[in-house]
Structure 1
Amino acid sequence: MSTIREGMPVLVRHEGDWVGTYTIVDNAGNILDKHESHLSCQFPEDSTYPYYQINRYKWANGKQEEHQFPGTYKDKTLFFDTERILGKAWEIDDSTVILWFAYKTAPDMNLYEMIQISPDNNYRARTWHWFKNHQIYQRTLIQEERLR
């Protein structure tokens, strides 16, 4: 059995801190929300979880949120099962990770995220496609760069 570092080399390239902007749009392209982000992607050595992510969000009106996502690993797949979400992520090529997740409080809703990392590992482009009852209703556009 491989470790997460061996089995998911593209994901490992995301290790570190990322800052950027989330822009949420409806199906017509109208902006519904926009906020800043700071994400930390970690691969703890001596931990129950081989992957640990912390998402911090900040809005212009002063609102702030922080969420933690410990992940388990098996067979080239990263799994999340927290109080907030259920999901999994897998690599599809040498620069792309796909994530599927659902909020536990909204069983009729789920989303797919495509995460692309640049060849120099310093920039990410991410898109979320939000579905409710199997119909797309909004998208989240995320542009990030590695915090240096």
Structure 2
Amino acid sequence: MSNIREEMPVLARHEGDWVGTYTLVDTEGKILDKHESHLSCQFPDDSPYSYYQINRYKWADGKQEEHKFPATYRDKFLWFDTERIEGKAWEIDDSTVILWFSYKTVPVAYLYEMIQISPDNNHRARTWHWFKNHQIYQRTLIQEQRIR
């Protein structure tokens, strides 16, 4: 049986809890939304899922959301198929993970995310490039630090 930690060592470095800020901008750089985040990245031992992520978001007006993203592992790819999204993630070098996903409620749209982890494993920079009908229409800029 393949081992996700050995075959995806960059992804394994993301295990733990991360806090940060999501800033959504249009193609002109105008801020459309900004909110705080707390993500938990887990590799559960006693689960049908090789990877499990919980995203918690909080806006200045008090609005909050929480989303869970279980994923399976196969052939050096992480595969997501939840009620909300479908997608896959893979490593491209010793500090970068690429994620492609789409929201099931928006069939003409998809995202590419680049996740960059620092050499000390305590900081991440992430960007989402949002496409609709194969044209970019917005970006999400994410800056995070590990809290545990």
Common fold: TM-score over 0.5 = yes
- Name the structure 2 match of 1:60: 60
Residue-by-residue CA offset, 1:105-135 (whole Å, 9 max, x unaligned): 0000000000000000000000000000000
Q: CA deviation at 1:28?
A: 0.3
Q: CA deviation at 1:6?
A: 1.2
- Name the structure 2 match of 1:51: 51
Q: CA deviation at 1:3?
A: 1.2
- Name the structure 2 match of 1:138: 138
Q: CA deviation at 1:65?
A: 0.2
- Name the structure 1 match of 2:106: 106
- Name the structure 1 match of 2:88: 88
Q: Hey, what's the Cα distance between the residues in 1 that align with 2:82 and 2:2?
A: 24
- Name the structure 1 match of 2:119: 119
Q: Hey, what's the Cα distance between the residues in 1 that align with 2:2 and 2:106?
A: 34
Gapped regions of structure 2 (runs ≥ 5) = none
TM (norm. structure 2) is 0.99
Q: CA deviation at 1:62?
A: 0.2
**Matched letter for residue 52 of structure 2:** Y
The aligned length equals 148
Q: Hey, what's the Cα distance between the residues in 2 that align with 1:103 and 1:55?
A: 15
SS state at 1:10 partner: helix
TM (norm. structure 1) is 0.99
Would you identify which runs of 4 or more consecutive aligned residues in structure 1 move more than 4 Å?
Answer: none
Percent identity of the aligned residues?
83
RMSD: 0.6
Gapped regions of structure 1 (runs ≥ 5) = none
Q: CA deviation at 1:46?
A: 1.2
- Name the structure 2 match of 1:73: 73
Q: CA deviation at 1:2?
A: 1.9
